[in-house]
Structure 1
């Protein structure tokens, strides 16, 4: 009975995280629109941050609870899942193309950022200084996004626009409720995931790399499949690559700025797998900036092998 209760709480936590992020983005974006803030700025800030809100909330909450295994594994697990499973499944359904900017800057920047994270974690802790280094890299990425968007070579994510029916008090209310749902959902997710790990004798690292990573990656999965179905397949890939950068350079950086995060030696392998996943994607799309069914199958096989490794060492 205990395990059933914890599973229900975990699912409830995921629902609150995802719906909370959705409502937070909707409310805050429309408030910004009411004050005539450009759609481009809203898309690059509120909407972009919103898709990483579940990972951010879970990682920060876990770190504050002294559960660094879930804080780190949630981000690394999400990044591995994003590439090998989400892109893998999506391009099996239909071939995906990739923007030139994603191929030549964003994807290599994911590899570099993950490598920097790995090097910073070799001493066993992500410190305030480490968080600052990652944040500097995030600012560089953010400036790049703004310049790219202003040049017309890239577009921000879809931005909710306010109508006359949307009143400021209502928008403030759903924004506050959305943030509350994110906070409560992250607390439920971290606590229930930790309890499930304890009940089954699994490590928090294993739970974070698999179940929690899957749950917090659901917004990216939905966004990518929806974009691909609409024919915006280059956005589908760009969304995943951008999310992976946000997870490392914003989520973990912010977490480290708030509190030191222990970086266990076991995460070295996971970081290497995350780098390898990005390298495989880069190789698959390098020739003609497209990835098809064979590439998707290769990624699924890669994740299956990684999952088997996790199960053996859980």
Structure 2
């Protein structure tokens, strides 16, 4: 039964992503804003909902390792495998604003996470903790980011209001596509995580390893299928904006909300993963600067990077 539900979950993910990308791209056209802004907001927030659900529930249950590990693991998966596969399928065009502001903002959010969780180093004692005050700082950064995105969207509308919109692109149909698509993505992702975890336990995998691999990968499947679907449809702005936006939401919204609900104790082991996440984000920024696109070679390097990281955490645990 678990194997059947796993297949159903993957089917929902794939079809949901197809509808969601089509609906989101057309909503961008109806709003007269660049598709990357839709990728950074609606798409990234929607595909980050599994991480938010898992991490917030974990925070309520006092499982800080799951909450923090899920976000860091998912972000590493997004930067490496999601961008890597999408770029390998179809080179991702990088908008100037993305290179100048969005990717550096992701890097800033990652560095802020490292600083706020390093209480022992900075204060010379106590325990490493993401306190409620730290969570409020994350949410404040999120408000600043959303203000910037809305301002860019309003400014860009002035330049694109005159562009004609095909008659077959309507609000009702595309809102329905987006809602049905994200619902299928969330339900499909949950089925994959639950049944994949059950199968993994039956095969003898440890709880730690399941958390670092299946849960982190499972909650990032919406980003993966959405970005691949966007790349195949040559909507590269949605593919890249989805990843950049999701990583920002994961740190600022998911960890911010989780820490406000219940302070998160930070284990020493996760520091290495956060540093790896920062280095990979810096690498993504460098790749984004080369000809303002992420090509097949860069995509392959990023994908291989995830395989190396996966081997590292398997050996470490």
Alignment partner, residue 99 of structure 1: 95
Distance 1:69 1:259, change over 3 A: same
Offset from partner CA, 1:190-239 (integer Å, 9 cap, x none): 898599669846353x3333211211111111221222222221321121
Residues 1:139 and 2:143 aligned together: yes
**Structure 1: unaligned runs, 5 residues or longer:** 167-171
Alignment partner, residue 270 of structure 2: 267
**Contact 1:54/1:216, CA 8 A, preserved across alignment:** yes
Question: Alignment partner of 2:172: what SS?
Answer: coil
| Count of paired positions | 284
Question: Alignment partner of 1:151: what SS?
Answer: helix
Alignment partner, residue 282 of structure 1: 285
What is the CA–CA distance in structure 2 between the aligned matches of 1:67 and 1:194, rounded to whole Å? Answer: 19
Question: RMSD of the alignment, in Å?
Answer: 3.9
What is the CA–CA distance in structure 1 between the aligned matches of 2:170 and 2:270, rounded to whole Å? Answer: 38
**Contact 1:70/1:207, CA 8 A, preserved across alignment:** no
Alignment partner, residue 64 of structure 2: 68
What is the CA–CA distance in structure 1 between the aligned matches of 2:133 and 2:202, rounded to whole Å? Answer: 33
What is the CA–CA distance in structure 2 between the aligned matches of 1:269 and 1:215, rounded to whole Å? Answer: 22
**Contact 1:83/1:277, CA 8 A, preserved across alignment:** yes
Alignment partner, residue 162 of structure 1: 172
Runs of 4+ in 1 over 4 A off after TM superposition: 7-16, 42-48, 185-199
Within 5 Å, give how 1:100-139 maps onto structure 2. Answer: 100-123=96-119, 124-139=128-143
**Contact 1:138/1:250, CA 8 A, preserved across alignment:** yes
Distance 1:84 1:196, change over 3 A: same
Pairwise CA distance, 1:74: 1.1
Distance 1:245 1:45, change over 3 A: closer
Distance 1:125 1:198, change over 3 A: farther
**Contact 1:58/1:187, CA 8 A, preserved across alignment:** no
**Contact 2:79/2:281, CA 8 A, preserved across alignment:** yes
Pairwise CA distance, 1:104: 0.8
What is the CA–CA distance in structure 1 between the aligned matches of 2:111 and 2:63, rounded to whole Å? Answer: 23
